[in-house]
Amino acid sequence: MDFNLPGEDDPRRIAVRRWFEANPSPSYKQLAEQGYTAANWPRPWGLDAEPELQFIIDTEIERTGMTHPTKVNGIATNQCGQALLHYGSDAQRERFLPPGLACEEIWCMLFSEPSGGSDLSALKTVARREGDHYVVRGHKIWTSLANHADIGVLVARTDPTAPKHKGLSQFLIDMKSPGVTVRPIQDMTGEDNEYNEVFLDDVRVPADRLVGKEGEGWRIATSQLQTERMMMTQPAAVFGAGPTARELMSGLIETGRIKDPLVRDEAARLYIEGEMFRLLSLRSLSQRMQGRPSGVEGNLGKMMAAPHGQRICDLAKRSQGAAGMIRDPDVLPLPNRSFGRFQDWDYAYWFSPAATLGVGTQEILKNTVAERILGLPREPDPTAQVPFNQINAAPARSAA
């Protein structure tokens, strides 16, 4: 692996830094118009940037102290917005990408359902075509930021007579549409700004909001989840965001808690783990520089990174001793740069259990790693080729 990343004197870095000097407090709209929000995207949305230039731009955004747009509106600026480049129409790109990249319209993913568990393909939300609209009826849950979202990326069943993976389609819906009800879910953080359940009662969605073709929903959704998992293979506390084991170690040293030999030993192990994830991130960057596809290793990275982040947050709290049982925003000092909503160690600690559930449970990720990376036999699914509307009607043995 080549560790000779662009230095301080790289002409590209100097040019980017000069732009930030001329725009010392840029808005997200300015970042998007400059092409910095998604620099690797093709023009006019990005800069057609090679991985090195994207790396430079991302590190310079971080250097300003502002929260990166992918942490503010990741659904639009990363996984789902990116899917419009491949599957969306010109009209959809013109309508949705500019305000999405500018973080003026927040997006959410309407994927998981109460009855489906970890099997996304078993979803029951139905989109029925009626003239120039689809009528959507169903119930989604664990939808991040739905209570703040303007646009929902919806996966719904358009053909119940097809097998469960083949009868799905994807839509872009207005979250303010009649029939959309969002109910926040209170979690351990004591706040309700993350997870929600969403009820869709005969919501009318214009037919031109269909992404790609009918029946392509599963392919599009899995590509989006893969992109999201790659982003989460980072040495950070929660979902690829927040402080890292380096910040944990610095805080323990600054407060003197590192003198405890048990704390020191555990912190050292976490620091080593964090360096491993940092190297994995650089390996991914190196592969992109060489034009190699990312493949499915994002599943492996997310599977390992999520519990690592939980252990970081756990040690940050436990290092306080009995005081760790009380809410304290100053659990450990953090450097003067933005970690988004995970700037608070307490918040990160209470939120971190979600990391091994969201964007694919550990069990789903282990199955994917076993089957698609290690080449082990696929787990049999007797319902995979059965028309969805017959799955619950027939005995499982007749579906085999």
Instruction: Indicate the Cα dihedral angle 274, 280, 285, 291, nearest 10°.
Output: -170
Q: How many CA atoms lie within 13 A of 293 on its CB side?
A: 5
Nearest to residue 165, comparing CAs of 217, 220, 129, 213?
217
- Residue whose C-alpha is closest to residue 199's, from 149, 146, 158, 153: 146
List the catalytic residue out of 113, 194, 197, 228. 228
94 is known as an active-site residue: no
Contact 133, 166 (CB under 8 A): no
**Contact in structure between 290 and 52 (CB atoms under 8 Å):** no
d(CA 137, CA 209): 16
Contact predicate 293/264, CB 8 Å: no
Q: Is 65 left (phi over 0), alpha (psi -120 to 50) or beta?
A: left
10 Å CB burial of residue 397 (0-12, 13-18, 19+) is exposed
Q: Which residues belong to the active site? A: 228
